[in-house]
Structure 1
């Protein structure tokens, strides 16, 4: 901050000892530390206030842009109208299929089992001979009595 080197600091310490005296030096250093702490807190408080003001200004600017964009969209597509060419009847791409028939009654357990079966990874052919992973850890060896 002030770019004080070791030699300048040594001169300041010697002058302070001569002017203040070794007896009052600890009290003077505590007082200086308190003042420096207060200045840092005030500086941080000021900086935080400025950051908050900038953030609020940016939020207001973004809200203004969004409001303007919303007005443009609403002017282009008034309530009840459809975009040019109309909306598609089926929003699913042709390669995708519905997960269930909307008219069929939904059985939660069956639907969950079907979803798990679809999500289960298929084993690659080279891994089919591997033994299954154990569900429980192997039992600990018995403790030896000494």
Structure 2
């Protein structure tokens, strides 16, 4: 990502030591490390959310194509998408089915 060599790192460390001093430099490095970790976790969450939204969009497009075509003559890619959507719908309905089955009929 960054093309930083050994001497550049040594120069940054020396400047940090001169500016912050030996007492505050370790704390500043820990704070920088925490900040970098927070940014990395945030970017990974955003990336996962974008991937999820793109997959939903793709499935929605495939469903629209499947609705336009005859359901028996779908290409394999669209058949997989329809099957995935059906299984997702079944998983969503399962918790509600258990609750209605548990209730006695009045």
Q: Same fold (TM over 0.5)?
A: yes
3-state DSSP of counterpart to 1:4: coil
Give RMSD over aligned pairs.
1.7
Structure 2 spans left out of the alignment, 5+ residues = 74-106
Highest RCO, 1 vs 2 (Cα 8 Å, sep ≥ 6): 2
Question: Which residue does the alignment assign to 2:39?
Answer: 39
Give me the TM-score of the superposition, normalised by structure 1: 0.46
Moved over 6 A (4+): none
Deviations 1:95-116 (Å, cap 9, x if unpaired)?
A: xxxxxxxxxxxxxxxxxxxxxx
Matched positions, count: 73
**TM-score with structure 2 length normalisation?**
0.63
Alignment of 1:60-99 (within 5 A): 60-70=60-70
Q: Which runs of no fewer than 5 residues in structure 1 stay unpaired?
A: 74-146
Aligned to 2:50: 50
Kindly name which structure, 1 or 2, has the bigger radius of gyration based on alpha carbons: 1
Instruction: Identify the residue that residue 59 of structure 2 maps to in structure 1.
Output: 59
| Structure 1 or 2: more helix by fraction | 2
Aligned counterpart, 2:81: none
